[in-house]
Structure 1
């Protein structure tokens, strides 16, 4: 019979054995209690703030330490530093500080945001794109980021409008957004080929070998001989190869413009977009030229005025080169940079205007007594001042006196300094838009993997919440216990206020420590 069964017979334990047994039982209960305390500590560790008692926050940013009061960052509880749960991920218990491997200089502006109660100022030695990334990292919010971009002169991104009709939406995406699908990309490539072909034809047809001339009569007075003259003919013929190619390009541009207008989500806003206006203006000269070819009279004389007007109208065809910006990210970035730098460019023009008037007036009076002076008036000196300040120096106008040359030297130095002042701001704006475009492309490429990671993260968070709720329920009701957890198995649980002695308690006992006696009715069962 087993010494531990206690079912078929009763056992009497010696006094020493009972003491040893009691000590092991107490030790087992104490270990179970410690396990429960560790569970409570792990459960509550995410909500406790290590620096709540000291009321002082020590922040280490790439080796540079900052100290501030806890109530300073607590003003903005939705930010990274203001939320204890968020910032505890960066807590170093050995040094009793928060460590961030971020840009040092940018943190001056971030800390000032908390100290000033919401005023964000970028340090002058930090680039705009770097400070923008720091704003996103410290989670200051989209409203703060939008306000910061407006203060820096950036254009607010407009939301993408799409038609409600399904077929209309597909057509709009096909012609307006080349990155939306593979057919849209092929259509964009075809449009770029047609634009380039049109620009090449516009340039080649002006070569002397391809020009056409007509003979006109200068006068038809009675008694005088007719004097014929040869003049360049700006009106093409309908069978001219260049005109045929131009017709094909115009048919493409017109069809593209009409289809995009028909599928536009809002017809009123369609021609408020500058690119659509350029598309319309670039095809108008063809129809004017076509009308002039149809009504042209070869016997008509003195067409100099009409031909001059026609040349000006045909010059508008050069605007087709701007159509390339619809399909070129580089040109779009350049346009956004110029739009964001309008204030700096305006200051540049204003400073140049002041310097032009100042130095042209000075060189005029300095060269007034020279017999060979080329500066006959102050407006004549405007051209010289502009050419000198931009360091072009054509040499058609130059000072000849000593004072005139000294003024010219000062003019060149002033031009270099004036032009160089807004260049860093423009370059910084270009870097910002370039990095933003690059990041958006990387975001699109990795969107699928990011979505999968988010789903895994949500699943893990859900499991953690479920485990935490299960532990909380166990703590509130010890009678309900999941036998699958090691802290709550049959060997160490408390069930219905009765003590179960674990089998491990009997490890080390020898059968000789237990006295076996026959079962009697008056003997207590253990």
Structure 2
């Protein structure tokens, strides 16, 4: 029974697995929708009376689905402890835990749980295959990206100091401290441009133009790194196993697949039996 449940819960390519994933996926969408429409997501007594009954009903249904999903993953996992402390395990756990926020009376815990309730949206990542590729790309380029971000931070500090010095000649300058300059450099380089700090001198405006142009490169470089890494990962996943499933005859399984994506039969066991 555990093997069959594992096929349903973990193998999204099987008919039963697809149905299971559709149910969980639908529950996630309903839960996020209910959270957005709920007038009192954090348990304020004054607003609680205005809650709509159908929103509470949806939340209870989603809680039941998430609870079953979490405990099923624990049950079918070969290493339950490892699953529990994995990213998806913690997301599944918090998706259940933070339903009980309105019952929390401790102010400190309540503020922690207030922000934690939105974590349930990360359950959607499990259904996006590209999310796994993005995660792999980030891990592969982690050191390069870390060095790059460190360089960007240092550049922001230098540019912030420059704009502070340049604008200090203006008696009506808005840049009273270097911190104001660093904030301006970040806002300008990311092309956000709030407009709360504006250079008044000609040299300051020239520097602002340079910072704006630098912003395009700042965004493009990490994007290129992740794109190249993602393409390599995608190409590696295009490889398929040569053998067919002995139960249904389906071919074209991914090289990392352990079960048939049509009927759920174990590919490794069946291949060994054939040999």
- TM over 0.5, shorter chain: yes
Q: Which runs of 5+ in 2 are unaligned?
A: 245-249, 254-275
On the 8 A contact 2:166/2:203 being kept in 1, the answer is yes
On the 8 A contact 1:348/1:418 being kept in 2, the answer is no
Matched, 1:352 2:165: no
1:449-460 matched pairs, under 5 angstroms: none
Larger helix proportion of the pair: 2
Cα deviations across residues 385-414 of structure 1 (Å, max 9, x unaligned)? 111112222222111112221222232233
Matched, 1:326 2:134: no
Matched with 1:184 is 17
Q: Which runs of 5+ in 1 are unaligned?
A: 1-166, 215-230, 293-304, 449-526
193-202 or 426-435: which moved more?
Answer: 426-435
User: How many Å apart are 1:284 and its aligned residue?
Assistant: 1.6
User: How many Å apart are 1:194 and its aligned residue?
Assistant: 0.5
- CA distance change for structure 1 residues 390 and 279 in 2, over 3 Å: closer, same or farther? same
Matched with 1:171 is 5
Task: Give the 3-state SS of the residue equivalent to 1:348 in structure 2.
Answer: helix
Q: TM-score under structure 2 normalisation?
A: 0.78
Q: Separation in 2 of the partners of 1:363 and 1:441?
A: 59
Matched with 2:251 is 446
User: How many Å apart are 1:326 and its aligned residue?
Assistant: 1.4
- CA distance change for structure 1 residues 346 and 176 in 2, over 3 Å: closer, same or farther? same
Matched with 1:428 is 228
1:475-486 matched pairs, under 5 angstroms: none
User: How many Å apart are 1:366 and its aligned residue?
Assistant: 1.2
Residue from 246, 249, 269 that aligns with 2:59: 246
Q: Separation in 2 of the partners of 1:282 and 1:346?
A: 30
Q: CA RMSD in A?
A: 3.0
Matched with 2:36 is 203
Matched, 1:256 2:89: no
On the 8 A contact 1:235/1:289 being kept in 2, the answer is no
Give structure 1 regions of 4+ aligned residues with deviation exceeding 4 angstroms.
234-239, 440-445
User: How many Å apart are 1:447 and its aligned residue?
Assistant: 4.3
Matched with 2:264 is none
What is the number of equivalent residue pairs in this alignment? 247
Q: Separation in 2 of the partners of 1:236 and 1:270?
A: 39
1:109-128 matched pairs, under 5 angstroms: none
Residue from 79, 85, 89 that aligns with 1:276: 89
Q: Separation in 1 of the partners of 2:62 and 2:45?
A: 25
Q: Separation in 1 of the partners of 2:153 and 2:70?
A: 40
